[in-house]
A = this chain, B = another copy of it.
């Protein structure tokens, strides 16, 4: 099918339109790709978030197939909707690509995104295609907020701190990719972040979640965000952190990846009570989602927001500059 420049913007947008109109998630879309703006049904409270992935900055082109890149873009962006306990509904994609970018790759990228999003009921409804000297993708996700949203600011002293899944795999996977390794569980963890939308909704629905965030920039940094927003500190027992066998076997410091490594996209939250802990455990069993208690919220210590069991400050994590 040649390159984007050969096909042209209009024909490419038409191809995307055919792809999106077929999506089973298209209910609620009154007007999708192809008019000035998309027209969609919304509820009274809407969640909005966006994420950007640029080749050479956030990833290298040989790290991911175009289809895997589309899937990963969706999962990274939707993680912020999950962290509020919301339901993703509509997606807006801005795609910048060089003129010689293969149409087949662009089609695969959008297909991967559309298919993965459809699994949780979200539809691509519009966007923008423009020329750039490298591939750069910005995905905005519009979600239904439902009755309650989990904010970062609800953590209170005495609440236990929980995390889903395992920590540090994706961060170690990126290091392996940078060293030329292209297969294995850690690399897969980077390529295919967990999709925690359904379990997050169910957790928030129980009323047991006091504060929640997704672990995107590293446990220490993201728990620091919760502490700062809530005016509290947190004490983590690093011996409790959920570390996969693959990470333990990788020959690097697993704790370093688990504490400061980004790209996890797991849920990090505090629970209101012992009873709330039981409710959360039931929900996670139902969704077969690993759940680990890793620490406790304490009164504000002053500067050190997050400390380990011996009182040592935990910090570091991904910085965008």
Contact = CB atoms under 8 A, between A and B. Distances in A.
Interface of A: 4-5, 8-9, 30-31, 34-52, 54, 56-58, 80-81, 83-84, 86, 90, 92-94, 96, 99, 125-133, 136, 138, 140-143, 145, 149, 151-153, 212-214, 229, 319-321
Given A130-B320, A319-B9, A321-B5, A40 B48 contact: yes
Give 7 nearest A-B pairs by CB, closest first.
A37-B49, A36-B83, A36-B80, A42-B46, A37-B47, A5-B321, A138-B138
A42 B93 CA distance: 21
A38 B49 contact: yes
Candidate in A45, A93, A138, A149 with the most chain B CB atoms within 10 angstroms: A138
A117 to B, nearest CB: 15
Given A52-B94, A92-B50, A149-B31, A42 B43 contact: yes
A84 B127 contact: no
11 contacts: A8-B321, A31-B149, A31-B151, A37-B141, A40-B45, A50-B140, A52-B94, A57-B131, A94-B138, A129-B320, A132-B136
A90 B45 CA distance: 13
Contacts of A51: 94, 128
Contacts of A31: 149, 151
A45 B41 contact: yes
Contacts of A83: 36-37
A57 B132 contact: yes
B86 A37 contact: yes
Contact of A96 (B36, B49, B136, B141): B136
Contacts of A94: 50-52, 94, 138
B37 A130 contact: no
Contact of A145 (B39, B58, B80, B86): B39
Contacts of A30: 45
A45 B42 CA distance: 6
A126 B48 contact: yes
A48 B90 contact: yes
